C-alpha cells in the first residue's frame, strides 16, 4: 500500500541518485555514519510473504525502494501501489516497475495523517496476478464457465474464511480456489476448499486417489 509521504521530489533528488538501468541508489550527501556520500543507499528488508525488498531510511522514515525509484524517475510520488513485472521486489530497474491498475482508497487517520489502502476486490485482483498470473477478469471467466461450482464435486463453495467478520454471512464464504499443477505451474480449474485440500493431501498422486476410490467402492455396502 502507498504510505503518506511528506518529502518533496527536490528534497529526495538532492540526497539520492537513482540509476534507472540498474535500479541502484547512491547517497549524494552524507546522512549519518552509516549513510555516507558515494555509498549505495538502501537495505534489504523481509516482507510477510518471505520475499526481500529494498528499503531506504531517511529522517526516521522507512521508504519502499520502488516508491522512491518511481519518484526520482517520474518526478512525483506514486498515488497507488507499485508492482514488479518479474515479481522480484529486489529488481528496481524502472523497466520492471508498473503502477497499479486501481487507485487506492485515501484514508485520513485520527492523527490527521493520510494513508491509502486497496479495496477487497483490488487485493483479490493483485493476489491472483501475483500468485497465479491471472487477472480477476480471467478468474471471473473461469468461474462462469464452471457455473460457479467446483470442477470435482460440482458443488458451490461452502467453506468459510476463519475470523472474517461481516454483517452479511454470505460474504464470509471462500472464493473457489485456483488449482494448479505444482510441477509445471499450469492453471487447471477452480476447486472448492475441500477438494483442493484433498488433492493437496494426496500430493496430486493419481494412484493414491484411485486407490481411495476403490477402497470406498469396496466398502460401500457396509453398514
User: Is 50 exceeded by the pLDDT of residue 222?
Assistant: yes
Q: For the residues 97-123, what does the mean pLDDT come to?
A: 67
183-198, pLDDT tens digit by residue? 888 899 999 999 999 9
Distances (CA, A) of 178 to 85, 149, 197, 199: 21, 12, 12, 12
pLDDT given for residue 1 in this prediction: 39
Helices then strands (H, E): number in the chain?
6, 11
What dotted CATH number matches 9-117?
Answer: 3.90.75
All CATH 3.90.75 domain ranges of the chain, comma separated, are 9-117
149-160, pLDDT tens digit by residue? 999 999 999 888
Task: Look at residues 47, 74, 42 and name the one whose alpha carbon lies nearest to residue 58.
Answer: 42
Task: Look at residues 54, 86, 59, 58 and name the one whose alpha carbon lies nearest to residue 70.
Answer: 54
Task: Look at residues 17, 130, 35, 117 and name the one whose alpha carbon lies nearest to residue 73.
Answer: 17
Q: Could you tell me the three cell numbers for 43? A: 537495505
Pairing of strands 82-84, 61-64: unpaired
If you ran DSSP here, which 8-state letter would residue 4 be given?
Answer: P
All CATH 3.40.1800.10 domain ranges of the chain, comma separated, are 120-218
Rounded to whole angstroms, the Cα distance separating 169 from 46 reads 35
What is the helix (H) or strand (E) element at residue 56, kind and residue range? strand 52-58
Q: Which range, of 126-135, 152-161, 174-183, averages the lowest pLDDT?
A: 126-135
Q: Does domain 120-218 have CATH number 3.40.1800.10?
A: yes
Mean pLDDT of the chain: 82
Amino acid at each position: 500500500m502507498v504510505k503518506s509521504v511528506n518529502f518533496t521530489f527536490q528534497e529526495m533528488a538532492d540526497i539520492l541518485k537513482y540509476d534507472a538501468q540498474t535500479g541502484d541508489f547512491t547517497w549524494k550527501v552524507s546522512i549519518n555514519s552509516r549513510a555516507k556520500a558515494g555509498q549505495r543507499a538502501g537495505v534489504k528488508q523481509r516482507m510477510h510473504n518471505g520475499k526481500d525488498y529494498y528499503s531506504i531510511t531517511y529522517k526516521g522514515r522507512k521508504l519502499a525502494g520502488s516508491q522512491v525509484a518511481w519518484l526520482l524517475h517520474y518526478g512525483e510520488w506514486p498515488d497507488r501501489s507499485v508492482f514488479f513485472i518479474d515479481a522480484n521486489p529486489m529488481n528496481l530497474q524502472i523497466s520492471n516497475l508498473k503502477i497499479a491498475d486501481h487507485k487506492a482508497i485515501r484514508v485520513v487517520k485520527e492523527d490527521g495523517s493520510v494513508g491509502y489502502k486497496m479495496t477487497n476486490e483490488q487485493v483479490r485482483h493483485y493476489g491472483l496476478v501475483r500468485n497465479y498470473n491471472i487477472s480477476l477478469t480471467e478468474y471471473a471467466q473461469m468461474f462462469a464457465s464452471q457455473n460457479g461450482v467446483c470442477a470435482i464435486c460440482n458443488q458451490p463453495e461452502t467453506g468459510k474464511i476463519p475470523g472474517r467478520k461481516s454483517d452479511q454471512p454470505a460474504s464470509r464464504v471462500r472464493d473457489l480456489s485456483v488449482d494448479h499443477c505444482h510441477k509445471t505451474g499450469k492453471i487447471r480449474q477452480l476447486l472448492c476448499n475441500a477438494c483442493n485440500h484433498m488433492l493437496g493431501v494426496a500430493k496430486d498422486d493419481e494412484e493414491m486417489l484411485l486407490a481411495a476410490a476403490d477402497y470406498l467402492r469396496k466398502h460401500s455396502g457396509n453398514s
